[in-house]
Amino acid sequence: MKLKIKRTLIFILIITMVFSVAGCQSKPKEQEEGLFKAGKYVGEGQGLNGPIKVEVTVTSSEIKEIKVLEHKETPGVSDLAIKNVPASIVEGQGLAVDIVAGATWSSNGIIEAVTKALEQAGADINALKTLPVKQEKEKKTTEKETDVVVIGAGGAGLASAVSANENGARVIVLEKMPKPGGNTIISGASYNAVDPKRQAAQGIEDSIEKHYTQTYEGGDKKGNPELIQVLVENAYPTIEWLESMGMEFKPEIHTVLGGMWPRAHAPVKPLGTGFIDTFMNYIDEHKDQMEVMVNTKATEIIMENGKVVGVKAEGPDGDVIIRANAVVVAAGGFGNNVEMRNEFNTQWPDLTKIKSTNHPGATGDGIAIAKTVGANLIGMEYIQLLPMGDPNTGSLSGNIEQSVENRIFVNMDGNRFVDEGARRDVMTKALFEQEDAFMWVVLDSQNYPTGDEKNHFNESINELVAAKRAYKADTLEDLAAQIGVDPSNLVKTVEDFNAHVDSKEADEFGRTLYQWKIDKPPYYAGARVPTVHHTMGGIEINTEAEVIDTNGNIIPGLYAAGEVTGGIHGSNRLGGNALADINVFGRIAGKNAAAYK
Ligand code: FAD
The residue whose C-alpha atom lies closest to atom 34 belonging to ligand 1 is 187
The angle at the Cα of 182, spanning 180 to 183, to the nearest 5 degrees, equals: 150
By residue count, the chain amounts to: 597
Which atom of ligand 1 is nearest to 578's Cα? 25
Amino acid letter at 290? M
**CA 329–ligand 1 middle distance (angstroms):** 13
- Alpha-carbon distances of 525 from 345, 406, 460, 472, rounded to whole Å: 32, 13, 14, 7
Per the CB < 8 A criterion, the answer to whether 357 and 396 are in contact is: yes
Ranges of beta strands (E only) in 351-445 are 377-378, 383-389, 408-410, 439-444
CA distance 562 to 580: 9
**CA 463–ligand 1 middle distance (angstroms):** 27
**CA 153–ligand 1 middle distance (angstroms):** 9
**CA 154–ligand 1 middle distance (angstroms):** 6
CA distance 187 to 274: 11
Question: What is the residue-level pLDDT of the chain in tens, covering all 597 positions?
Answer: 444 444 544 444 444 444 443 443 333 343 346 889 999 999 999 888 788 999 999 999 899 999 999 998 877 778 889 999 999 999 888 898 888 877 888 899 999 999 999 999 999 898 888 766 556 678 999 999 999 999 999 999 999 999 999 999 999 999 999 999 999 999 999 999 999 999 999 999 999 999 999 999 999 999 999 999 999 999 999 999 999 999 999 999 999 989 999 999 999 998 999 999 999 999 999 999 999 999 999 999 999 999 999 999 999 999 999 999 999 999 999 999 999 999 999 999 999 999 999 999 999 999 999 999 999 999 999 999 999 999 999 999 899 999 899 999 999 999 999 999 999 999 999 999 999 999 999 999 999 999 999 988 788 999 999 999 999 999 999 999 999 999 999 999 999 999 999 999 999 999 999 999 999 999 999 999 999 999 999 999 999 999 999 999 999 999 999 999 999 999 999 999 999 999 999 999 999 999 998
Helix (H, G, I), strand (E, B) or coil at 220: coil
The residue whose C-alpha atom lies closest to atom 11 belonging to ligand 1 is 361
Helix (H, G, I), strand (E, B) or coil at 481: helix
* Ligand 1 pocket, CB under 6 A: 151-157, 174-177, 181-184, 186-190, 256, 297-298, 330-332, 357-358, 361-362, 365-366, 396, 534, 562-564, 576-579, 582
CA distance 471 to 525: 5
Per the CB < 8 A criterion, the answer to whether 337 and 364 are in contact is: yes
Q: Is the peptide bond between 132 and the residue preceding it cis, with omega within 30 degrees of 0? A: no
Amino acid letter at 422? A
pLDDT score recorded for residue 457: 79
Per the CB < 8 A criterion, the answer to whether 153 and 223 are in contact is: no
Per the CB < 8 A criterion, the answer to whether 274 and 159 are in contact is: no
CA distance 362 to 332: 6
pLDDT score recorded for residue 131: 62
In this structure, what are the phi and psi dihedrals at residue 408, rounded to the nearest 5 degrees? -120, 160
pLDDT score recorded for residue 18: 41
pLDDT score recorded for residue 22: 40
Helix (H, G, I), strand (E, B) or coil at 529: strand
CA distance 385 to 382: 10
Active-site residue set:
424
Q: Radius of gyration over alpha carbons of the chain, in Å? A: 28
pLDDT score recorded for residue 28: 37
Per the CB < 8 A criterion, the answer to whether 576 and 263 are in contact is: yes
Q: Is the peptide bond between 522 and the residue preceding it cis, with omega within 30 degrees of 0? A: yes
Per the CB < 8 A criterion, the answer to whether 560 and 593 are in contact is: no
CA distance 321 to 313: 6
CA distance 490 to 482: 12
CA distance 341 to 351: 7
CA distance 222 to 569: 8
Per the CB < 8 A criterion, the answer to whether 63 and 89 are in contact is: yes
Helix (H, G, I), strand (E, B) or coil at 391: coil
Q: Which helix (H) or strand (E) holds 426?
A: helix 424-432
Of 179, 186, 197, the C-alpha closest to 249 is: 197
pLDDT score recorded for residue 2: 45
CA distance 52 to 64: 19
Q: Which helix (H) or strand (E) holds 540?
A: strand 538-540
Q: Which helix (H) or strand (E) holds 56?
A: strand 51-58
| Residue to mutate (ligand 1; options 158, 232, 579, 581; most atoms within 8 A of CB) | 579
Residues 6+ apart with CB under 8 A from 201: 251
* Mode of pairing for the β-strands spanning 538-540 and 171-174: unpaired
pLDDT score recorded for residue 118: 94
Q: What DSSP line would sit under 262-313, residue for residue?
A: S-EEEESSSTTHHHHHHHHHHHHHTTTTEEEETT-EEEEEEEETTEEEEEEE
The residue whose C-alpha atom lies closest to atom 22 belonging to ligand 1 is 152
Per the CB < 8 A criterion, the answer to whether 314 and 162 are in contact is: no
Per-residue model confidence as pLDDT tens digits over 28-45: 343 346 889 999 999 999
Burial group, residue 197, by CB count within 10 angstroms (0-12, 13-18, 19+): exposed
Per-residue model confidence as pLDDT tens digits over 123-140: 989 888 876 655 667 899
pTM of the predicted protein model: 0.84
Amino acid letter at 399? N
Amino acid letter at 403? S
Per the CB < 8 A criterion, the answer to whether 458 and 74 are in contact is: yes
In this structure, what are the phi and psi dihedrals at residue 328, rounded to the nearest 5 degrees? -110, 120
In this structure, what are the phi and psi dihedrals at residue 353, rounded to the nearest 5 degrees? -100, 0
Which atom of ligand 1 is nearest to 174's Cα? 20
Per the CB < 8 A criterion, the answer to whether 270 and 76 are in contact is: yes
**CA 183–ligand 1 middle distance (angstroms):** 3
